[in-house]
Amino acid sequence: MRSDGFLETGGSLMALIDIERLEREAESLAQTFASAHPFPHMVVEQFLHPEAAERLLQSYPAIEETTWDNSTTYKHQKGKFVKQSIQGTPMAPFFEETASPRLLDVLSRITGIQQLEPDPELFGAGLHQSLSGGFLDVHVDFNLHPTTQHYRRLNLLVYMNKEWQESYGGYLELWDMDKRQCVKSIAPLFNRAVLFETSEISYHGHPHPLRLSHGVTRKSLSVYYYTVEKGERISPTFHNTRFQNTQGLAGAVKVAKSSVIAGLERLRGTGRDSRKERSAP
């Protein structure tokens, strides 16, 4: 066990993430990341070695398992389940690799953000799984970790959805909120990773309710990275997740319905984490 709470990954050897390709293409990926709109981001296909991605998908826990937390339903999101208890499970090696010095180094090279830190708590991160009807309104994320008070800088999402159909929806939308415009829409396809800078302008979400076939869920692996120093586009004072209605009247009706569900949940005593709202793109 390392001092930061993560397990050792066996030196620099990484069995799951295709780190060699990231290192090889770091210069071009850095250009892609820096020039992307509406905020710095990149999409990486085949982020995991193919056989490793298959193993993780086979190990991904079903929604019926009792270890999922669905007590974080707010008016701006619905049908989301979070699993943060990873240690000792078949999914643990992935999160160990994402916390490795070797990956942190290449992420710094790509993003230009130095001294990145992993989060052994996986606060708000971990495994995310959404049911049919689920959505997550467009938002910017909370900016400070509740324990360390370090600044949230990067989101890494790896999708675990095979044979995803366009009719299902669930595309990750990246918004320019100055123009009130969705600039990019990214399908949550199997073994596709999205890395983006977390800031005051990084509005993202999947606001349209999922329309899934029976037995299908929207699955992802989520990792957040932090730094001690504040980034250029980050507020120096704490703020929670900030949501935006991007759907007009339909969005207002959707949020109103979700508010009723969230209110009933709190009455049952299963309300949200008192420290911060946790969003799951």
CA pair distance 33, 30, nearest whole angstrom: 5
Q: What is the pLDDT of residue 44?
A: 99
pTM over 0.95: no
Q: What is the pLDDT of residue 87?
A: 85
User: Do residues 56 and 190 lie in contact, with contact meaning Cβ atoms separated by under 8 Å?
Assistant: no
CA pair distance 113, 150, nearest whole angstrom: 14
Sign of CA dihedral 174, 177, 182, 183: negative
How is residue 158 annotated by DSSP? E
CA pair distance 274, 133, nearest whole angstrom: 25
Omega into 38 within 30° of 0, i.e. cis?
Answer: yes
Hey, where are the domains in the chain?
19-267
- The amino acid present at 239, given as its one-letter code, is H
Q: What is the pLDDT of residue 91?
A: 94
The helix-helix angle for 101-111 and 26-35 (nearest 10°) equals 50
Beta bridge partners of 221: 127, 158
Q: What is the pLDDT of residue 279?
A: 56
Closest Cα to residue 86, out of 127, 129, 145?
Answer: 127
Burial class (CB in 10 A: 0-12, 13-18, 19+), 25: middle
Coil, strand or helix at 200? coil
Ranges of the chain with pLDDT below 50: 1-11, 73, 266, 269-278
Give per-residue pLDDT as tens, 264-281.
554 554 444 433 444 556
User: Do residues 133 and 154 lie in contact, with contact meaning Cβ atoms separated by under 8 Å?
Assistant: no
Q: What is the pLDDT of residue 4?
A: 39
203-206 and 172-176 beta bridge pairing:
antiparallel
Fold of 19-267: Jelly Rolls (2.60.120)
Residue length of the chain: 281
